[in-house]
Copies of this chain bind each other. A is one copy, B any other.
């Protein structure tokens, strides 16, 4: 079975919304061995939707559609499907009961207009909406479309995600017989071309059914090794062999071979060592603390963060000497080191990290340009382990992200088994 995704909504075509729904659905389908061959975003015009649905249903066994099921007048998906399949609408008692219960729960009146929202394509399998109002539908399209499936879901991400997890994925998992296995190989501190050069022969010898993709992102590049087949054991084995070969070649740049973030990996290392961390941030403005605390359970190792934007805050909260700031400037390795030691002292953590730099767009100078970062890491009983000055290029938000990534990368290096710094 193969799938396509159709995302309905002018807001996508105007660029007012990024299509995160399609990425989620593609990952979910991949997990049950159903590859996605095409993703189409189209306008919410009935004629156009009907045409796009028909094209996708010609090619794909399963067509997932999101958007256009809500109560407002730009919601025309049901009408487009009626037109395409020549089917009518019927009241879903189940959807109506859900709607009425939601209204009552919020202390609102149950009005007749609710019936409109509970109307579904006749003969469809209703997908309960546990997070909102509009019901979803799984529709068998009959001989006209070689019994392919059309699935309608709302465009609100939380509603769609719940429907996928509770109903759609279990439904198609039962029908699918192929298997797919994706393994990410996440790297740090190496560029796309250099990495490609290191593993060229592995790429040359990929087993049948296995592909290798490069995923450059703001702070580095990741690989994705995907294997597709019918035999789970064989698929897993082929996939594992390629991943192992890459790890053997480029291991020192690889921080994970699973879907974890750098902050999760670091959290795992800290937890395993019974270590704690605190951060002192100027130019990253709380982003490092926020990333570290995105990890469930991070309260076990993240003690405290100081966002010291003003010079006065650096002095008062971390004890950075005013004369030092005056002499070297707030953006200097000296101040980064003093911030890290001050943070170590105030927090009592095992590791203290610091950033000071120029995120932009203003505040740069020829000597200290926008994109300049000074960072430091200090360790209990050892003092400052390292400090660095780096230069990045980006707008303010991208600089903040790259600054935070650079700092976390240094911490990761310190925590690696065998690091000269950590043990």
Contact = CB atoms under 8 A, between A and B. Distances in A.
A200 to B, nearest CB: 9
Contacts of A48: 37
Interface stretch (A168-176, A242-250, A289-297, A379-387): A289-297
Nearest to A194: B108
B347 A396 contact: no
B309 A306 contact: no
Given A22-B15, A24-B15, A317 B293 contact: no
Nearest to A302: B309
Interface string A268-299: 00000000000101001111111011101111
Contacts of A24: 15
B22 A36 contact: no
Interface stretch (A87-95, A209-217, A410-418): A209-217
Interface stretch (A6-14, A77-85, A143-151): A6-14
Contacts of A23: 12, 15-19
Contact of A285 (B12, B28, B284, B293): B293
B305 A346 contact: no
A296 B16 contact: no
Contact of A71 (B193, B211, B285, B316): B193
Chain A at the B interface: SS class: mixed
A115 interface: no
Number of identical protomers: 2
A310 B303 contact: yes
Contacts of A279: 307
B27 A14 contact: yes
Contacts of A239: none
A241 to B, nearest CB: 19
B307 A182 contact: no
Given A19-B19, A211-B10, A305-B307, A158 B394 contact: yes
B22 A296 contact: no
Contacts of A346: 316-317
Contacts of A9: 213
A11 B312 CA distance: 47
28 contacts: A10-B226, A13-B38, A13-B39, A14-B26, A14-B27, A14-B36, A14-B182, A15-B26, A16-B182, A16-B213, A16-B215, A18-B18, A19-B22, A22-B41, A38-B40, A38-B52, A74-B213, A74-B214, A158-B394, A289-B290, A296-B360, A297-B362, A298-B309, A303-B310, A304-B307, A304-B310, A313-B347, A317-B346
Given A40-B40, A285-B294, 16 more contacts: A13-B39, A14-B27, A14-B224, A15-B36, A16-B215, A18-B23, A19-B19, A37-B42, A285-B290, A285-B302, A287-B290, A289-B290, A293-B359, A296-B360, A296-B396, A299-B309
The 8 closest A-B pairs by CB, nearest first: A285-B293, A305-B307, A286-B289, A15-B26, A15-B27, A286-B286, A286-B290, A39-B41
